[in-house]
């Protein structure tokens, strides 16, 4: 049996320095390792940072790792991720294209004209920019919905309102970790709470306990019937 990129035999995960992994952390770390060693490294890095009690930046470092983890999870479940460039960067690239085309443009009978191919190329760049801008601003929620669907082993969809709820929940977690990673105000207790939510979210999907949930559903329906 080969070793993984962590330098360990497959299926074994290293504990953060100076600590013992809790069972759910161990389970999630193992699963992330299966999906993508890079994800496991980020998660382990976050846990490691949190255990550096003497490090004043540990919350920032942990949040940074978690934010990265959340960014990379879609790739691990086969979702193509487009480059998520800042708007300023996008505009800069578009300006570059325009500068290339501009010398080819001339005025003729009061109208701007240029070579057809050059014009087409710029129009294409423009279109791509607008598509990306439009996509970035409106479909982040949709992307997370796709992620939620991909995390389901069946690949089938849960009802739209619930999917939306999960997507918003994921976004809320992400926003929190981004904020902390940028030195936003937080506390260890708060960060642990958010991390715990994320861990539960991922565990429920990556290591399903389907029939336990079905037992719970049966019990709930019985309870509701008895109450009625």
Partner 1 sequence: MPSKDQVDRALELIGIRAANYEYFFSKLDDPEWIDPLRARGLFACPPKPERSEDGLLVRAVWWPQSQFLARVSARAPEEVLAILLATGTDNYAVIADFTEAAAKMPPELASKWAIKLRQWIQQASFVESLLVKEVRNLVLHLAGNGRSKIALDLLAALLEVLPDPKAKEAEGGDEPGGRRGFLEPGAKCDQYAFQETLQIVVPSVAGIEPIPTLELLCDLLEKTACFSFPEEQARKPLDYSFIRRPAIEDHGQNQDDRFGNSLIAAVRDVSAKICGDMPQEFEHVISEVEAHGWDIFRRIGLHLLRVSEAPPPRLVEERLVDPELFDCIGVHHEYYHLLRRRFAELSPEGQAIILAWIDSGEHHKAYLDKHEQDWSEEQRAANLRYWQYTKLLCIEKDLSGEHARRLEDLRREFGEPGIPPDFHSWMGGVRWLGQQSPKPTEELGLLPVKDLVGFLKSWKAPGEFDGPSPEGLGSGIEALIARAPEKYAAGIEHFKDGALASLYLGYVVAGFAKALENGKTFPFEPLLALCGWIVDSSEAARRQAADGPGGRREEWERPRHDIARLLTKLFDDKYGFPIGLRVSVWRIIEPLTNDPDPDLAYEARYGGENMDPLSLSINSIRGNAMHGVVHYALWVCRKNEINTASGSKRRLSLADMPEVRAVLDAHLDPGKSQFALNQMDRAVYGDWLPQLMYVDEEWVRANLGRVFPESPEERHLRRAAWNTYVVYVPQIYKQVCDLIKGIYRDEIRRLATDESRKRGYHDLAQKLGEHAAVIYARGWDDLAEGSLVDLFFANAPEELRAHVLGFLGRDLRKDTPLGDDTVARFKRLWEWRVTALAGADKVAEKELGEFGWWFASGRCGEEWALDHLETVLLRTGALSDEMGVFEHMAQVFEQFPKESLRCLKLYVEKTQNPWFFGLAREGGPWEILRKGIAHEAAEVCEASEEIVHLLGSKGYLQYREILKMERGS
With 0-12 / 13-18 / 19 or more C-beta atoms within 10 angstroms meaning exposed / middle / buried, residue 111 is exposed
* Residue from 195, 215, 162, 158 nearest 66 by CA: 195
DSSP state, residue 106: E
User: For residues 137 and 210, which CB has a smaller minimum distance to partner 1 in the complex?
Assistant: 210
Q: Provide the minimum distance between the beta carbon of 87 and partner 1 in the complex, in angstroms, as a whole number.
A: 32
Strands (E), 64-134: 106-108, 111-113
User: For residues 23 and 137, which CB has a smaller minimum distance to partner 1 in the complex?
Assistant: 23
Q: Do residues 46 and 52 touch, judged by C-beta distance below 8 A?
A: no
Copy the structure tokens of residue 201.
């979210």
Work out the number of other CB atoms within 10 angstroms of the CB of residue 28.
24
x/- site string to partner 1, residues 203 to 222, per CB under 8 A?
-xx-xxxxxxxx-xxx-xx-
Query: Which of 78, 161, 185, 189 touches partner 1 by CB under 8 A?
Result: 161
Is residue 1 a contact point for partner 1 (CB under 8 A)? yes
Copy the structure tokens of residue 132.
């990306």
DSSP state, residue 45: H
User: For residues 38 and 208, which CB has a smaller minimum distance to partner 1 in the complex?
Assistant: 208
Sign of CA dihedral 35, 39, 45, 51: negative
CA 82 to chain centre: 12
Query: Which of 158, 186, 197, 199 touches partner 1 by CB under 8 A?
Result: 158
Dist. CA 30–CA 161, nearest whole Å: 31
User: For residues 160 and 189, which CB has a smaller minimum distance to partner 1 in the complex?
Assistant: 160
| Chain residues 118-147 in contact with partner 1, contact rule CB under 8 A | none
Query: Which of 120, 126, 141, 162 touches partner 1 by CB under 8 A?
Result: 162
Q: How many residues bind partner 1 (CB under 8 A)?
A: 35
CA 171 to chain centre: 9
Is residue 197 a contact point for partner 1 (CB under 8 A)? no
Is residue 89 a contact point for partner 1 (CB under 8 A)? no
User: For residues 137 and 211, which CB has a smaller minimum distance to partner 1 in the complex?
Assistant: 211
Is residue 156 a contact point for partner 1 (CB under 8 A)? yes
Is residue 224 a contact point for partner 1 (CB under 8 A)? yes
User: For residues 80 and 228, which CB has a smaller minimum distance to partner 1 in the complex?
Assistant: 228
Copy the structure tokens of residue 165.
């709820």
Q: Where does this chain bind partner 1 (CB under 8 A)?
A: 1, 11, 152-154, 156-163, 165-166, 204-205, 207-214, 216-218, 220-221, 223-225, 227-228
């Amino acid at each position: 049996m080969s070793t993984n990129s962590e330098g360990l035999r497959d299926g074994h995960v290293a504990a953060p320095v100076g600590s013992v992994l809790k069972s759910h952390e161990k389970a999630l770390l193992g699963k992330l390792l299966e999906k993508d060693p890079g994800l496991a490294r980020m998660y382990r890095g976050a846990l490691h940072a949190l255990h550096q009690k003497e490090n004043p930046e540990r919350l920032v470092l942990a949040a940074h790792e978690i934010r990265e983890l959340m960014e990379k999870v879609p790739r691990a479940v086969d979702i193509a991720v487009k480059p998520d460039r800042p708007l300023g960067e996008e505009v800069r690239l578009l300006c570059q294209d325009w500068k290339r085309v501009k010398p080819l443009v001339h005025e003729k009978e009061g109208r701007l004209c240029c070579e057809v191919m050059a014009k087409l190329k710029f129009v294409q760049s423009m279109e791509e920019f607008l598509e990306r801008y439009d996509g970035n601003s409106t479909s982040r929620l949709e992307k997370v919905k796709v992620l939620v669907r991909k995390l389901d082993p069946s690949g089938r969809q849960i009802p739209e309102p619930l999917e939306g709820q999960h997507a918003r929940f994921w976004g809320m977690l992400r926003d929190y970790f981004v904020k902390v990673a940028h030195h936003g105000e937080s506390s260890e207790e708060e960060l642990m709470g958010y991390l715990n939510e994320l861990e539960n979210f991922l565990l429920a999907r990556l290591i399903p306990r389907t029939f336990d949930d079905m037992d719970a559903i049966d019990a709930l329906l019985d309870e509701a019937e008895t109450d009625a």
